[in-house]
């Protein structure tokens, strides 16, 4: 005997359940239909600003964040437009990117690869960032660049000076506007030759990670080529805050030049230690002892105070440059924050504009389209003169500034003076240069 009863109520219930079942696919829409990772669908597009807010590069990170916020304002048509007005490409109209309002999320890299990747991942997975930018350490930049390649978003490198970022660790989704260790060496060597002669003994103190290694290699190669002798190369941990134990041996090494391959807080501390040990007053081998800081920034000069006077180094950009673009940028940054921007702020501002411009020219946020638009792109009006984004390694080629700590600063920001502007041609190298060999771009990944 069957127990089934067809009642009106039962039929209605079954019908409702079945109806809900049929309706399910329309509620549960899989997002796999998107053409690429985090395709912006609404009226806004999210960028991820991943900078160190703690750790030895925190000052640089804070300045980068300021510049990012300024760039977002200018892209959205607020403020005075800054370098949008001087940029040679006129695609950006101040209406966001392709009419989509630019929004951003921030994260703290802690100057650690692990934390930086976790932060970048949460931006991609949670906040839907379509581009990640930042990094004030090459180790971090390389780690995040690798992550962005895997995740299928664009990485616009911030302050990263290691040869490896666009050398053996280069990635198709990663782009760098900043210069690198090789370029610093190529620009500095002739100046050092004129100043200190060809018969010198150099002692290197080097931050122990990818940036330090490649800059040390570049500087040593360039100085040895003009006749200098490298006495010793000592690696110091990035997290060190006291360098006295590394400075003391320099005194007895017979070296007459100290090269500090340090940046940020490291350089401030090591230079202060070196000056305290009286290195700058010493006469070794009948010659005045000299200190060289290959990568310089105004923030470091500020941290090290009077110790930087007369010390030479190289920099990507300096606020005292007198071209229209630099003046426009310094003006809008200064109006908003009350002091001039650092080179870190400049490079990340440029990177944000370059990304927005490339997306507009490509007509898409697809990383592959943006990659094509950036590769081989020649532009001007961003403060560095004529610049080329080389297609083969995603490195920008532009003039490099050699600077010196000013003897008589007129203000607390007027700490560096430009000694020479080394033309781009002099710092250009072939893609297969041995210092950059061993990696491959691979192909662009859209997720």
Q: Which is nearer to other proteins, 139 or 381 (CB)?
A: 139
Provide, rounded to whole angstroms, the least separation between the CB of residue 240 and other proteins.
Answer: 11
CB of 57 to other proteins, least distance (A): 13
Compare residues 107 and 313 and give the one whose CB is closer to other proteins.
107
Q: Strands of 101-108's sheet, edge to edge? A: 101-108, 44-51, 131-134, 154-157, 174-176
* Residues facing 416 on adjacent strands: 405
Query: Are the C-beta atoms of residues 260 and 212 closer than 8 Å to each other?
Result: no
Token pair, residue 168, equals 């053996």
Measured distance CA(170)–CA(436) in Å, rounded: 9
- Give me the least distance between CB of 81 and other proteins, in Å please: 20
The whole-angstrom separation of Cα 308 and Cα 242 is: 18
Nearer to other proteins, 196 or 243 (CB): 243
Q: Is 140 buried (19+), middle (13-18) or exposed (0-12) by CB count in 10 A?
A: buried
CA distance 70 to 242: 35
Q: Cβ contacts of residue 207 below 8 Å, gap of 6+?
A: 235, 236, 238, 261, 262, 263, 266
Q: How far is the CB of 443 from other proteins (least distance, A)?
A: 4
Q: How far apart are the C-alpha atoms of 29 and 20, rounded to whole Å?
A: 15
Q: Which is nearer to other proteins, 235 or 327 (CB)?
A: 235
* Residue (118 or 419) nearer to other proteins, CB: 118
Q: Which helix (H) or strand (E) holds 336?
A: helix 324-337
Which of 172, 291 has the CB closer to other proteins?
172
Rule CB under 8 A: which residues touch other proteins?
27-32, 53-54, 69, 105-108, 112-115, 117-119, 121-122, 125-126, 138-139, 142-143, 146-147, 149-151, 164, 168-169, 172, 208-210, 235, 237-238, 438-440, 442-443, 445
Q: How far is the CB of 308 from other proteins (least distance, A)?
A: 26
Which is closer to other proteins, CB of 26 or CB of 252? 26
Q: Which is nearer to other proteins, 65 or 400 (CB)?
A: 65
Contact criterion met (CB below 8 Å) for 185 and 219: yes
CB 304 to other proteins: min, Å? 23
Closest approach of other proteins to the CB of residue 41, in Å: 11
Cβ at position 156, least distance to other proteins in Å:
19
Kindly provide the residue ranges of all beta strands, DSSP E only, lying in 299-426, ordered along the sequence. Answer: 312-315, 378-379, 387-389, 396-397, 400-405, 416-422
């Amino acid at each position: 005997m069957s127990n089934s009863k067809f009642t009106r109520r039962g039929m209605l219930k079954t019908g409702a359940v079945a109806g809900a079942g049929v309706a399910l696919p329309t509620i549960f829409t899989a997002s796999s239909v998107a053409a690429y990772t985090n395709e912006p669908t609404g009226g806004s597009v999210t960028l991820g600003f991943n900078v160190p807010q703690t750790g030895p590069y925190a000052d640089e990170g804070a300045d980068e964040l300021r510049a990012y916020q300024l760039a977002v304002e200018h892209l959205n048509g607020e403020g005075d437009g800054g370098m949008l007005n001087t940029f040679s490409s006129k695609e950006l109209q101040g209406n966001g990117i392709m009419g989509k309002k630019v929004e951003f999320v921030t994260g703290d890299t802690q100057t650690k690869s692990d934390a930086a990747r976790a932060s970048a991942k949460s931006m991609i997975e949670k906040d839907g960032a379509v581009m990640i930018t930042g990094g004030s350490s090459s180790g971090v930049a390389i780690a995040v660049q690798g992550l962005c390649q895997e995740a299928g978003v664009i990485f616009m490198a911030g302050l990263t000076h290691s040869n490896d970022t666009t050398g053996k660790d280069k990635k198709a989704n990663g782009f760098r506007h900043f210069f690198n260790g090789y370029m610093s060496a190529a620009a500095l060597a002739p100046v050092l030759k004129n100043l200190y002669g060809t018969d010198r003994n150099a002692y290197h103190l080097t931050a122990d990670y990818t940036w330090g290694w490649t800059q040390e290699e570049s500087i040593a190669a360039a100085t040895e080529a003009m006749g200098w002798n490298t006495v010793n190369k000592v690696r110091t941990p990035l997290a060190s805050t006291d360098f006295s134990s590394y400075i003391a041996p320099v005194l007895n090494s017979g070296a007459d030049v100290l090269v500090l391959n340090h940046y940020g807080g490291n350089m401030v501390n090591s230079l202060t230690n070196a000056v305290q040990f009286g290195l700058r007053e010493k006469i070794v081998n009948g010659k005045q002892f000299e200190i060289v800081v290959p990568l310089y920034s105004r923030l470091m000069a500020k941290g090290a105070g009077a110790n930087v006077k007369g010390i030479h180094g190289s920099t990507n950009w300096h606020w005292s440059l007198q071209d229209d673009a630099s003046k426009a940028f310094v003006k809008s940054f200064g109006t908003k924050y009350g002091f001039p921007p650092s080179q870190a702020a400049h490079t990340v501002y440029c990177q944000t504009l370059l990304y927005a411009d490339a997306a507009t020219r490509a007509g898409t946020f697809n990383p592959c389209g943006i990659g094509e638009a950036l590769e081989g792109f020649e532009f001007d009006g961003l403060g560095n003169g004529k610049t080329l984004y080389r297609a083969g390694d995603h490195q920008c080629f532009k003039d490099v500034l050699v600077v010196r700590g000013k003897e008589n600063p007129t203000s607390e920001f007027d700490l560096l003076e430009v000694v020479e502007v080394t033309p781009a041609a002099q710092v250009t190298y072939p893609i297969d240069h041995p210092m950059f060999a061993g990696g491959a771009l691979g192909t662009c990944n859209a997720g």
